[in-house]
Amino acid sequence: MKNILLFIICITGLACQKNKDEAKPSNCVPQRYYFKFTTFSDEFLYEYTSDNTLTKIFQVERNTKILNKIIIFNYNNNRQLTRVSDSLPSLQRIERYYILEYAGTDKNPSSITEYNPNGEKFDAWAIEYNDGRIIKTVPEGFFQHRYRRYEYDSDGNVIRIFYRDPIEKKETLAMENAAFDDKKLFYSGSTVLSLYNHLIAFRVPGEHNPGKTIYHYISYGEKPAIPIIRNFEYQYNKENFPEKIIYSDTDENGNPIGGFTQQEELFNYICN
């Protein structure tokens, strides 16, 4: 009798469509990203096609609304990202651009080459994967020793990054991540934006947000006097994407490091 009643309700369209819609998972892609407390006052605005394919990122000075940079994304017929260009509207020229190469129709690029405005090669690096995860980025030629190597936990989060230090000439621990939650990274709703953040912007790849990051190195050959500990707090939207990230840098004893005690990153999304 219960099944017959449910069938009648579904036929009338009163309940089943609603349950179907509620069960459908939502995805979000960033629409706007900016810092709340900082001398860096630019915000980032994201432009997509109707199917949420990223086409441009606009970097705008938040107070004056001056357009400082446009990052342009180009694709081939296989929908692989093939070129990323940094355009400077004020100078009416390309600042730099990146060419991504693939092995056949693979969704992950095998190498990236960076060119200067004159079309001269500036840098290039190969990418190594394991089960679709980035495990190593290796610069070509003379700088091959300056690689990055990634280690993951069982959930796909990067827990350690190693550099091949050019001064000490050995592999050294550069960064550690810990205390992950089970929520989404701000860019994880877009495959292309994830690729860009991981391989060009060099954000840490992974699946979830860390509660703590320890920086042993800031960049190649730049080692802080003491490890910098960054602690994170998150506020999420109903789709579990972060709307606000609050963080602060301290030493091992909890004493503030740097010119600010707390920073906030804020995000707006397009969800469907």
Q: How much is the average pLDDT of 78-107? A: 91
Type and span of the H or E element at 6: helix 2-12
Distance of alpha carbon 223 from the chain centroid: 24
> Using CA atoms, how far apart are residues 65 and 144, in angstroms rounded to an integer?
41
> Among candidates 132, 131, 81, 88, which has minimal Cα distance to 102?
81
pLDDT at position 9 is 35
Class of residue 164 by CB neighbours under 10 A (exposed 0-12, middle 13-18, buried 19+): buried
Report whether CATH 2.40.160.190 matches the domain 31-271: yes
CA distance 183 to 177: 15
Per the structure block, which two tokens stand in for 103? 């092995």
Flag whether pLDDT at 225 surpasses 60: yes
Q: What is the distance between the alpha carbons of residues 166 and 173, in angstroms, rounded to a whole number?
A: 13
Q: Is the pLDDT of residue 75 over 70?
A: yes
Q: Is the pLDDT of residue 163 over 50?
A: yes
Helix (H, G, I), strand (E, B) or coil at 103: coil
* Predicted pLDDT at 3: 45
176 within 8 A of 164, measured Cβ to Cβ:
no
Average pLDDT estimate for 209-229: 78
Sign of CA dihedral 165, 171, 176, 182: positive
On average, the pLDDT of the chain sits at: 84
Rounded Cα gap, residues 130 and 108, in angstroms: 11
Higher pLDDT, 222 or 13: 222
Residue indicated by tokens 């079309």 = 119
The per-residue b/e assignment along 5-14, b for 16 or more CB within 10 angstroms, e otherwise, is eeeeeeeeee
- If you average pLDDT over residues 197-208, what whole number do you get? 84
The two most distant CA atoms of the chain are separated, in Å, by 77
Tell me the pTM: 0.83
153 confidence band (pLDDT: 50, 70, 90): very high
Write down the H helix ranges in 219-262: none
Mean local confidence (pLDDT), 220-226: 62
Quick one: pLDDT at residue 154?
Answer: 92
Indicate the domain borders of the chain. 31-271
Average the pLDDT over 11-36 and give the result. 66
pLDDT value at residue 127:
94
What pLDDT digit, counting tens, does each position of 113-152 carry?
999 989 999 889 999 999 989 999 988 765 555 688 999 9
Residue 229 has pLDDT above 90, yes or no: yes
Q: How far apart are CA 96 and CA 87, in angstroms?
A: 7
> Which residues are within 8 A (CB) of 35 and not within 5 positions of it... i.e. 6 or more apart?
41, 263, 264, 265, 266
